[in-house]
Amino acid sequence: MKELRSVSVPGPFADAFRSAERYVEEWFRSFEQDPTKGVITIGGERYILVRAASMSVHFTEHIRSMYPGLEEAESIEVVNQLLFDIAHSLGENDARNFHEKMGVTDPIEKLSTGPIHFAWSGWAFVDILPESRPSPDGDFYLLYDHPQSFESDAWLAAGRTTNHCVCHMNAGYSSGWCTASFGRQLVAREILCRARGDEHCRFIMADPARIEDCVDRYFQGNGPDDSTP
């Protein structure tokens, strides 16, 4: 049986992700680059390459500089929400386009293509943890790590220190993809972050009305510095 290469998931989810991996591999086999026209296409769609640090570290600093009257905590919150909202929209629209082009119709298969597409497009590897319950209803709960998150990697490579989580685009894009997959609004929150010294970049995804409760319950069983689920 083929081993998964671009995602790590609990055993019961493996078959769905094997199917999804075939879809995504087929999509990215169509990669074409023509520098004489300044065009990159995948699956017949126009793509662009953006340097990770420009999208995370420097963009964050630029946006914060636009609000000099805000307290530090407020400016951080403004930037974090902006990055999340941009990435959530990108993930939701990329998912709908991918599912339509590749003929993916089953909600679980739709969701399963997300982490694999995430890895192939350079956002991060995805490790879905066993506590996850990806049910298409209000009980949806996803606990997952993003090893090699482009945001944390960019901050660490730049030698920048931070006392807060930075992977808001990772959270936004992944929850946007899952929102499109299940046809119901989902949000994600980074709860541990390598850029601030944690062992993992760890996220919780849930219904917006339940996300705070899910985060609270996670930390009731795991201290803020304890990365073991």
Over the stretch 170-197, which tens digit does the pLDDT of each residue have? 999 999 999 999 999 999 999 999 999 9
Could you tell me if 146 and 175 are in contact, meaning their C-beta atoms sit under 8 angstroms apart? Answer: no
pLDDT digits 0-9 by tens, 111-130: 999 999 999 999 999 999 99
Answer whether residue 229 shows pLDDT above 70: no
Q: How far apart are CA 144 and CA 77, in angstroms?
A: 23
pLDDT-based confidence at 50, cuts 50/70/90? Answer: very high
Query: Which phi and psi (to 5°) does residue 157 adopt?
Result: -65, -30
- Domain map of the chain by residue range? 11-221
pLDDT digits 0-9 by tens, 192-212: 999 999 999 999 999 999 999
Tokens 């909600």 map to which residue? Answer: 107
Answer whether residue 91 shows pLDDT above 80: yes
pLDDT digits 0-9 by tens, 125-147: 999 999 999 988 889 999 999 99
Label each residue of the chain as H, E or C: CCCCCCCECCHHHHHHHHHHHHHHHHHHCCCEEECCCCEEEECCEEECCCCHHHHHHHHHHHHHHCCCCCCHHHHHHHHHHHHHHHHHHHHHHHHHHHHHHHCCCCHHHHHHHHHHHHHHCCCCCCEECCCCECCCCCCCEEEEECCCCHHHHHHHHCCCCCCCCCCHHHHHHHHHHHHHHHCCCCEEEEEECHHHCCCCCEEEEECCCCHHHHHHHHHHHCCCCCCCC
Q: What is the pLDDT of residue 63?
A: 85
Q: What is the pLDDT of residue 227?
A: 37
Q: Which CATH superfamily is domain 11-221 in?
A: Trafficking protein particle complex subunit 3 (3.30.1380.20)
Answer whether residue 25 shows pLDDT above 50: yes
What average pLDDT does the structure give for the chain?
92
